Amino acid sequence: MLNIVLFGPPGAGKGTQSEKLIAKYGLVHLSTGDMLRAEIAAGSALGMEAKTLMDKGQLVPDEVVINIIKSNIDTKPYAKGFIFDGFPRTVKQAEALDDLLNNIQKPIQLMISLEVEKAELIERLLKRGESSGRSDDTNKEIIENRINEYNNKTLPLKDFYKLQGKLCPINGIGSIDEIFNSICQAIHAKVS
Ligand code: B4P
């Protein structure tokens, strides 16, 4: 079992690197951003509540994402491992995830933290917004809100995982393949 938290600010490359990690290690991808966008597309009450917050660049309530993650873990007892992409984003979410995984004796082994500076993040997200249709990617002010939410609420998680000896910082600037190779080296160093 290989359980990884893929961490980083909005636009750091979490979704991009997740795809490559899934292909290489056969892990189950759990992206709370994707799950929330699926709820929005389905027009559910949960999705409508999430959309109001996401469109402003704010985090959705902890209880909402914790419940989504819990139901996904519960329905995949035979998974070879999970990539948590964009989750946890607050200390409360990280504590809830530890509880869920400790209950099944499959704790997080490492937290890959993609390090990318703010100007590069804004450029990447505005570029993606030109084609993705994501309403949170088209406006610089909203992108800055997302980065502020990250700095205020999510960044403290680096210390949370560092204290557990699980933090692996990775330079998130460079080609997608170069970054992927660095991630794979960090995984092998940690789990072999
Ligand atoms: P997410 O869907 O998680 O979105 P993200 O952080 O913006 O995307 P990501 O980091 O995966 O993007 P990627 O780098 O792949 O969250 C959206 C919203 O949902 C949040 O703002 C929040 O409201 C809500 N939400 C989600 N999870 C939550 C939670 N747990 N708690 C509360 N709220 C939650 O891609 C960015 C772009 O960069 C792409 O175009 C990509 O092609 C490009 N790129 C990637 N790597 C590159 C590289 N090496 N060089 C150049 N470009 C690169």
Contact at 8 Å (CB) between 131 and 124? Answer: no
Residue holding tokens 């899934």?
22
- pLDDT tens, residue by residue, 142-165: 999 999 999 999 999 999 999 999
Would the CB of 12 count as within 6 Å of ligand 1? yes
How many angstroms separate the CA atoms of 153 and 103, rounded?
26
Would the CB of 96 count as within 6 Å of ligand 1? no
| 10 C-alpha to ligand 1 centroid (Å) | 4
| 51 C-alpha to ligand 1 centroid (Å) | 15
- pLDDT tens, residue by residue, 7-46: 999 999 999 999 999 999 999 999 999 999 999 999 999 9
What's this model's pTM, rounded to 2 decimal places? 0.94
- pLDDT tens, residue by residue, 66-121: 999 999 999 988 889 999 999 999 999 999 999 999 999 999 999 999 999 999 99
